[in-house]
């Protein structure tokens, strides 16, 4: 009994004496970092003076401040007004947080232009600045239906109602979200929902009867940039995707699938709208319905895309603009 008891005491003493000191470790961020005085140790710097995003180049920005602080880095295109915004909370700002591949946070997209870079700290007056020149903007991978830069493709067809103030045409000005051109759709039609439409036929591209797209509808994304006018919320844009399932070169609405993506334009300014092709429903008068064909999204059998501008006939003048209609794979467009 006594022996076991003594062994227990010795064992206990050994156990309690083996803790490794943790004098140099702390849990969490340093309070001194969080609460100390703010000051700039190294100012904002760009890793390059100029960058060619089209060639796959990237650029990053660095700075160092005295305490861990929330920050906001804003790159603004001096010509386009495009914005790239990056945020974080740290005392060292480096490539791991600020690597830029030319993408934009708020449309329009960047162009070949000088960009101003601003580093600000919410709640603090300090603003650090730098500049970088975009030699060539980012090129997006995907199948481009149109960016309207080269005019109206003769392979497309269109129908425009004979309403009042009709203005269906490609326009060029600095407000385009990509390049210089976009398609304007405006007018008043007080007897029909349809204001006007364009048919993007597959034959207008490579001559084939279907668009050259992947057969995996879960990996294919349809993207379009849409502009909402100030004070107008009556515009609807309907994209219809006709599938030539029997590969006979024509679409039969009674026996083949027609999928439709309806966009209600209730915002102001340019906005990127993206949707996975397999998520696009079949609609009849705006309500989900059963497709008339095989009911499967055959993205490699799209032979025509119809872009319809709709508005309630009693709602009066309707207007919207569209640009950069593109299919991408592996994810939505990151412009």
Partner 1 sequence: MRFTLYITLLLSSFSAFAQEGKKVQFVGGARSLLSHSDFTSKTDVEDTVTSRKMTGGYALIDLGFKINPNATTEILGMIRIKNDFGGFWGSGVNFDVRQLYVKGVAGNVLRYQIGNIDYKLSPYTFYNHNADMLVQSTASLKIKEDILNYETFYKNNTWRQQGAAADFALKFPKMIQEMKFNGFITRMNPTNMTNILERFYGGGNITIVQSKYFTIGGNHVSVFDLKQTAASNDAYRNSVSTGTFASSMEFDKIKFGIDGETGFSNSFSSQDNEGKLSDYFVNAKLNVEAKKLGIKFNLGYMDNGADFRSAGAQSKRVDYNQVNNYYDRYTNAQIVRPLSMYDLYNDPTLYTSSINTGIMTYNPSINNALPYGTATFNRKGIYSTLSYEDKKKIVAVSATYYKLSEIRGQGTLNLKSFDYLKGNLVFDVSNLLKWKLKQIINVGVAYQNTQRKSDLSFETISLKSTTMNVGVELEIVKDLSILGNAFMFSSVGNELLPVRNDKGEIINFNPYLVDGQELNISAGLKFNFSKDVYLACLYEQNKNNFNTLNPYNIKQLMLFYVMKF
Which residues of this protein are in contact with partner 1, per CB under 8 A? 1-2, 4-5, 7-9, 11-12, 15-16, 18-19, 22-32, 34-35
Which two structure tokens, joined as six digits, stand for 160? 């425009």
Q: Which residue has the tokens 């943790």?
A: 22
Cβ closest to partner 1, residue 6 vs residue 139: 6
Beta strands in 137-288 (DSSP E): 143-146, 157-160, 169-172, 181-187, 194-201, 220-228, 235-243, 258-264, 269-276, 283-284, 287-288
Alpha carbons 145 and 210: distance in angstroms, whole number: 12
Closest to 177 (Cα-Cα) out of 269, 101, 55: 269
CA angle 265, 178, 327 (to 5 degrees): 70
Cβ closest to partner 1, residue 5 vs residue 191: 5
Closest to 224 (Cα-Cα) out of 134, 148, 330, 138: 148
Cβ closest to partner 1, residue 32 vs residue 165: 32
**Residue 104 vs residues 108, 110, 138, 181, 197: alpha-carbon distances, Å:** 7, 7, 10, 18, 29
Q: Considering the complex, what minimum distance in angstroms separates the CB of residue 13 from partner 1?
A: 9
Q: Considering the complex, what minimum distance in angstroms separates the CB of residue 149 from partner 1?
A: 41
Q: Considering the complex, what minimum distance in angstroms separates the CB of residue 95 from partner 1?
A: 20
Residues in the chain: 335
Cβ closest to partner 1, residue 20 vs residue 162: 20
CB-based contact 84:99 (threshold 8 Å)? no
Cβ closest to partner 1, residue 25 vs residue 231: 25
Cβ closest to partner 1, residue 8 vs residue 255: 8
CB-based contact 325:198 (threshold 8 Å)? no
Cβ closest to partner 1, residue 91 vs residue 111: 91
Cβ closest to partner 1, residue 7 vs residue 289: 7
Alpha carbons 187 and 9: distance in angstroms, whole number: 94
Q: Considering the complex, what minimum distance in angstroms separates the CB of residue 98 from partner 1?
A: 20
Q: How many CB atoms lie within 10 A of CB 174?
A: 10
Alpha carbons 319 and 177: distance in angstroms, whole number: 17
Q: Considering the complex, what minimum distance in angstroms separates the CB of residue 22 from partner 1?
A: 5
Q: How many CB atoms lie within 10 A of CB 250?
A: 12
């Amino acid at each position: 009994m006594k022996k076991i008891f003594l062994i227990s005491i010795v064992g206990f003493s050994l156990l309690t004496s083996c803790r490794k000191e943790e004098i140099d470790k702390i849990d969490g961020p340093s309070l001194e970092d969080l609460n100390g005085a703010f000051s700039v140790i190294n100012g904002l710097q760009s890793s390059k003076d100029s960058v060619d995003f089209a060639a796959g180049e990237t650029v990053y920005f660095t700075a160092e401040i005295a305490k861990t602080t929330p920050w906001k880095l804003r790159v603004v295109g001096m010509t386009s007004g495009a914005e790239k915004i990056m945020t974080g909370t740290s005392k060292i700002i480096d490539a791991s947080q600020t690597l830029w591949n030319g993408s934009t946070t708020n449309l329009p997209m960047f162009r070949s232009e000088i960009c101003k870079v601003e580093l600000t700290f919410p709640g603090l007056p300090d603003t650090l600045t730098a500049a970088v020149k975009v030699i060539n903007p980012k090129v997006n991978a995907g199948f481009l239906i149109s960016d309207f830069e080269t005019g109206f493709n003769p392979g497309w067809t269109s129908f425009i109602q004979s309403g009042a103030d009709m203005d269906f045409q490609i326009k060029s000005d600095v407000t385009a979200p990509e390049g210089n051109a976009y398609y304007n759709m405006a007018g008043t039609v007080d007897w029909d929902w349809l204001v006007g439409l364009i048919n993007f036929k597959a034959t207008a591209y490579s001559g084939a009867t279907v668009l050259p797209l992947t057969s995996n509808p879960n990996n294919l994304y349809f993207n379009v940039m849409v502009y909402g006018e100030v004070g107008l919320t009556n515009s609807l844009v309907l994209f219809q995707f006709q599938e030539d399932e029997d590969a006979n070169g024509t679409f039969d609405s009674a026996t083949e699938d027609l999928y439709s993506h309806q966009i209600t334009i209730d915002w102001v300014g340019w906005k990127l709208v993206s949707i996975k092709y397999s998520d696009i429903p079949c609609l009849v008068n705006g309500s989900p319905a059963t497709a008339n064909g095989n009911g499967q999204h055959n993205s490699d059998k799209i032979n025509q895309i119809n872009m319809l501008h709709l508005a309630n006939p009693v709602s009066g003048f309707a207007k919207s603009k569209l640009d950069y209609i593109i299919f991408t794979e592996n994810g939505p467009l990151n412009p």
